[in-house]
A and B are shown apart, each in its own frame.
Chain A
Amino acid sequence: MIQHATPSLPEVSQLANRMSEEMGRVIVGKPTQIRMAVTVLLAEGHLLIEDVPGVGKTVLARALGRVIAGEVKRIQFTPDLLPSDVTGVSVFNQSTREFEFKQGGIFAHIVLGDEINRASPKTQSALLEAMAENQVSADGHTYRLSRPFMVIATQNPIEMEGTYPLPEAQRDRFMARITMGYPARQSEVAMLTAQAGGDQLNTVQPVTDAATVEAAIKAIRAVYVAPVINDYIVAISEATRTHPDLRLGASPRASLHLMRASRVVAALAGRDYVIPEDVGSLAVEVLAHRVLPTVEAQVAHREPAGIIASIVASVPTPARG
C-alpha cells in the first residue's frame, strides 16, 4: 500500500500496527521495544538500545529497516573506526579528474550503529553530529541524508570491557533509550525453533515504504499539543533538574524530544491531541538515559528510571492553563 498524500491519523495508527506486527514475527515477546522503535522512527528521533550482547538488538534494527523497505546500513563501531568511515570521504577520481564523495555508512534510512561505545569519542561525535543535523558536510559540500532517517545505536553496558561510555551530551541526542532484556523462556525456545528453518529476518516482509513513512511523519507533526501540555512537559523536565537524587537533569532538548514522542503516542492512539498520559507513558524511556544520579542515589541503588517514574507521579496532571 503506497500513498504519498498525507494519511489520516487512523491510517497512521494502522500503519504502525502493521509494522509492529510484522516485526513481532521475528522479535518474539518484545512488543514494548518494538512499539518504542516504531514510535521513535515516526517522531524523527534516534534510538539507543542498551543491553548485553546477543539479546536481539541488531535484529530489531534490521527488522525495522525491512518493514519500511528502507535501506539499512550497519556500522560496526570498533576502536579503530574513523569518522570518515561513518560520514564518507572525498576521493580523487582519476578518470573524471574530480573529487568524488564516497558516502559513508550513515547514508541510509536506518543506520545501525553497533556497539557504539566501542568507538573512539571522535568517531562517536561524527555520527552524532550527523544525527543532529540530518546532513553531512565534506569538502565544502553538504550532503543530505535519507528521509526518513533513524540511527539505532546499540551500546553494551558501560561496565563491560573495552568500552568508551557515551558522554552525556551525546546521549542527549538520542530520543529514547530502551533495553531489550532476556527473552522469556518460551520466547527463547520459540526463537530457537524458528531459527532452525533459516534466518527468520529474511522472512520479514515490507509493509510500507520510506515515502509513506515520511508522509506519516508529516501527518503526526499536525497533532495538537495544548499549551498546558507543554507546561506539563517542562514541569517534568524542571523537576528532574531540582530532584535531590539527580546531579544532572533533563535538557531543553529532552523536553522537545518528549513532546515529539508524545505526539506519536497520541497519533497511534487515534487522537489528534496530546493528553498528559501520552507524556507520562514515555517519560522514562525519553528521560532516563539523560540524567545522572548522585553518588548517594547510586549507592542506594536508586536507578534513574525509578526516579523519573516517581517524578512523573508527583508532578500534578494539568487541567487547564
Chain B
Amino acid sequence: MKFTHHPFSSLLIAVAVWLSLLPLAPLIEPLAYSIESVPLLAAAALIGLILARMRAPRVLTLVAQVIALLGVLLWRGLTLAGPGDPAGSLRTLTLDGIEAIRSQAAPLTATPGTIWLCLLLVTLLIIVVELLVNVLEQPGWSIAPLSLSFGISAVILRDDLPLFDLVPVIGAYTIVLLSVAGVGPTTGRASRQSPFHISRVMTGLGLASIAVAVSLLVSPLVPLGPKQPWNSGTDGPIQLSDPLVRLDQDLRRPADTPVLTYRPSTGEPTYLRTVALSSVTADGARLVPMQLNRFGLRDLDAPPGTEVTVETQMADVPSEYLPVPFAVTDIDAAGLWSYDPATLTVVAAGEDRTEQTRNLSYTAQAVMPNPSREQIEAAEAGSGLDPVLSEVPSELSPEVATLTADVVGDAVTAGQQALAIQSFLRSDEFTYSLDAPSSAGSSVIDAFLLSDRSGYCIHFATAMVTMARIQGIPARMAVGFTPGDSLEDGSFEVTSHDAHAWPELFLDGLGWVPFEPTPAFAGNPGYTDPAAQPSAEPSQEPSPSVPPASSQPTVAPPSPTATPTAPATSSGGGGAGLGIGLGIVLLIGLAFAPALVRLGQRRVRLRGGVSSAEAADGAWNETLATLRDHGMTWPGGSPVPGALALSEDLPDEAAETLAGIAHTVELSRYSREGAVTGGLAGQVRALRGTLWGVAPWGRRLRVTFVPPSVFTRSPRKGTHATSD
C-alpha cells in the first residue's frame, strides 16, 4: 500500500500553527512563542517534508515527527532550565511557568518557565494538527487546535482582544484546508508549476480577505451584550474591570446618587469593601488575577474580630463586585457568586455578571478585625504572602524612602510604624483635594508625598501602602465605600460620593488590618480621625472582643467602588460585548469557510488559460468533488469505466454529461493525441447544475455549507497520481 502525501503538507501545517499562535500576543511577550517555537516547527516540517518525499507511511511520519519534537523540546527545556537533574529541572520549569501565569498580569514576560509552557503548547498543536490532517485525514477538524490560542486569548481578554486577531486563525485554517482538499490532489508535479502554485496562494489570500471582510461587516450587526458564553462558569479566569476607574468617576461626578442602604447588626457604621488591589507598582494599584471559588467561603480561617451581619439593599446600580464588610465569612445573595480567598473579594459569576447587583438585596456576615491599639503596636509584620504584596513600586524617588524613615522615626514594631505613617498622612501637612491627578503612579506619589501634599483617597492609600512596603510590611489597597449617612430607621445610606480607597496592612497575628490615612473626607464620619481616637487607626477598637464598639475606621472599608465599577464594565462593555461578537463572527466565519474554500477550488480547477492536460485534470477533480458533494461514491478506476458504473445512479442527463466529461479526460490522459478541453469547464458546470436541480433541500444545504469534498480527501484510488 503506497501513501501519497501532499508534498508540502507538513511545511504548510507548521506555517499554520505559527500563524495560529499570533493571538497570544496580548498574553505573553512575543519572544516566548514566535521565535522560540521556530525550532519545533522547523523540525516537524523538515521531517514531514523528507518523509513525504520518501513516501513513508503517514503514521510513521507522525511518529518520527513526535520523536523529533520531543527531542527539540527536551533540548530546549534543559537549556532553559540550566544544569541539574533533568527531570527535576523540567518539573521546576513547569511549576515556574504555572506560577508566572497565576501571579502575573498579562502580558507575561518571557521567562524560562513561560517559554517552556509555550513550547509545550506548540508541540501539542503540531502533533494534533498533523494527526488530524495527515493521519486521520480530517483536515476540517484542525480548526479546533488552530483556534486554541485565539480561544485562550478570547477567554482571558474578552475586552481587549482585537478583532484583527481572527485573521491569522482564519488564515491558518485556510492554509490547512487548501493544502489537502485544495487544488492539488492531481499531481505534485503539476502543482509545482508556478502559475498553478501562485493561483493557489492567491485563492488562499482571497478567501482569508473575504472571511475577514465578512467578519467586519457582520460584527456591528450582532447584538453585543455582556453575556458571554465563557463567563457562565466561575472557576475560569474572569476579566475584571478596574475598580479605581469607577472610584474616580464616582468621586468626581457632580450628582451624588444613592448606591445602597445597609443595616448592620451592630448598629455601627461599617465600611463596605468591594475589592482589594494587591499590586501597587509604578503605574498605580492594580488587580492581580484572582483564584475564584464558589464554595468554601465559610470554612476559611478568619482572624479574630467582631462578628457582624449586614443586610444590604442595592440601588439600581450594576456591578460585578459585591460590597461586603471585611472580612466576609458568608453571603446570602441571589445569583451565582464566587470569591477570591486571598482578598475576600466577592465577584459575580452569573450570566449577567456585570449587572448582577442591580436592585439586589442580600445579607453578608463578616468578622471585622478590630484590634486594640496595644495589639497593633505590639504586632510585627506578617509574612508568608505573595511577594507582590511586598513589592515597593519602582521608579520611586529615593527621597520617599528617606521621608518614610523620618516618619517612622524610632518606631520599633511594624504596628508602631504603621500608626506613625497613618498619623503622618492624616496630619495637617496634607490636604484633601479631588483636583489631584487621578493616577497614582510613582511620579504622582512622589509629588504627593514630597511636594504637593494634596490628593484624595487613592493617593493617601497608595502612599500608605508604598511607605508600609518600604518598611517591609505587606500591604494592599482596598476599594469600597465609607459607611455613609445614618438614616432614621437605623440603617445607613451610601452614595456614589462615598466611594473610597484605603490601605490594608498585614500584621502578624492580626491578619489584614485596615487603616485610614485619608483625613476628613466629605461625608466621612469622624471616627476615622486618629486624633479623636488615639488608639484607633483604622480599625482598632480598644477591646477586640467588644462587638459594638467598633466598626470604625478599621473595618469600614469596602463600598460602592464596585458599583461604579460596573458602569466601567459596561462602558468597556462594548468591549465585553465584543467578546461574544468575536465568538459569533468566528462561528460565521467557520460556517462560510468550507463554502468559500469550495468556491475557490472550483474557480481554480475550472479556470482557463492552462494547458489541456491541466484543464482536464482540474475538470476531473472538480467532477469528482461535485459527485462526492452530492453523495455519490466514486467507484474507482479511470474516468470512462467509473462513469459507466455510476451512470445507473444518476439522472439520464447527468449521466450523459458525465460520460462526455469522462471521455474527454480519458483522451487527455491516455491517448496519444490528447484532447480538446475547451468545453470541459462548461460540461462540469452543467453536471453540477443538473445534480443541484434534482437534489433535495437538505442535500443542497449540505452541498453549500458542508461540502463533503472539502472535509474528506478524495479517495486515493482513481484520483491520485502515482506522481513521481
Contact = CB atoms under 8 A, between A and B. Distances in A.
Interface of A: 224, 226, 228-229, 231-232, 235, 271-277, 280, 314, 316-321
Contacts of B636: 317
A210 to B, nearest CB: 29
Interface in B12-34: none
Contacts of A231: 722
A231 B617 CA distance: 18
B670 interface: yes
B716 A316 contact: yes
B245 interface: no
Of A224, A226, A275, A320, most buried by chain B (CB within 10 Å of CB) is A320
Given A271-B671, A273-B671, A320-B613, 18 more contacts: A224-B670, A224-B672, A226-B670, A226-B671, A228-B670, A228-B721, A231-B722, A235-B722, A272-B671, A272-B672, A275-B670, A276-B637, A276-B638, A277-B638, A277-B641, A316-B720, A318-B721, A319-B617
Contacts of A314: 1
B128 interface: no
B718 interface: yes
A272 B666 CA distance: 12
Contacts of B671: 224, 226, 271-273
A104 to B, nearest CB: 42
A187 to B, nearest CB: 29
Mostly, the B contact residues are loop
Interface string B666-678: 1101111000000
Interface in B665-724: 666-667, 669-672, 716-722
The 9 A-B pairs at the shortest CB distance, nearest first, are namely: A224-B672, A273-B671, A273-B670, A276-B638, A226-B670, A319-B721, A277-B641, A317-B718, A275-B638
B190 A320 contact: yes
B722 A318 contact: yes
A317 B722 CA distance: 8
Interface residues of B, number: 28
Contact of B719 (A228, A271, A319): A319
B717 A316 contact: yes
Nearest to A266: B670
Contacts of B721: 228, 316, 318-321
A277 B642 CA distance: 10
Interface string B156-196: 00000000000000000000000000000011011000000
B672 A273 contact: yes
Contact of B669 (A272, A280, A320): A320
A23 B721 CA distance: 41
Contacts of B637: 276-277, 280, 317
29 contacts: A224-B671, A226-B669, A226-B671, A228-B722, A229-B670, A232-B722, A273-B672, A275-B638, A275-B640, A277-B637, A316-B720, A317-B637, A317-B717, A317-B718, A318-B669, A318-B721, A318-B722, A319-B617, A319-B669, A319-B718, A319-B719, A319-B720, A320-B186, A320-B190, A320-B669, A321-B187, A321-B189, A321-B721, A321-B722
Contacts of B620: 319
Nearest to B669: A320
Contacts of B670: 224, 226, 228-229, 273-275
Contacts of A275: 638, 640-641, 666, 670
A235 B617 CA distance: 21
Contact of B722 (A277, A280, A316): A316
A77 B557 CA distance: 117
Of B2, B638, B672, most buried by chain A (CB within 10 Å of CB) is B638
B680 to A, nearest CB: 15
B676 to A, nearest CB: 15
A276 B189 CA distance: 21
A320 B717 contact: no
Interface of B: 1-2, 4, 186-187, 189-190, 613, 617, 620, 636-638, 640-641, 666-667, 669-672, 716-722
Contacts of B672: 224, 226, 272-273
A226 B721 CA distance: 14
Of A226, A232, A317, most buried by chain B (CB within 10 Å of CB) is A317
Given A276-B638, A277-B638, A320 B187 contact: yes
Contacts of B666: 275
Contacts of B2: 316
Contacts of A224: 670-672
Nearest to B190: A320
Nearest to A226: B670
Contacts of B720: 316, 319
Nearest to A279: B638
A280 B718 CA distance: 13
A224 B670 CA distance: 8
A275 B665 CA distance: 11
A320 B640 CA distance: 15
B527 to A, nearest CB: 89
Contacts of A229: 670
A277 B717 CA distance: 13
Nearest to B671: A273
Contacts of B190: 320
A321 B620 CA distance: 15
A99 to B, nearest CB: 50
Nearest to B2: A316
Contacts of A271: 671
A229 B670 CA distance: 8
A275 B720 CA distance: 16
B641 A228 contact: no
A318 B670 CA distance: 10
Nearest to A235: B722
A276 B640 CA distance: 10
A229 B666 CA distance: 12
Nearest to B620: A319
Contacts of A319: 186-187, 617, 620, 669, 718-721
A316 B720 CA distance: 7
Contacts of B617: 319-320
A229 B2 CA distance: 17
Contacts of B641: 275, 277
Nearest to A273: B671
B386 to A, nearest CB: 63
A272 B189 CA distance: 27
A46 B664 CA distance: 35
Given A275-B641, A276-B637, A277-B638, A316 B669 contact: no
Contacts of A280: 637
A227 B722 CA distance: 12
A271 B613 CA distance: 19
A143 B215 CA distance: 85
A275 to B, nearest CB: 5
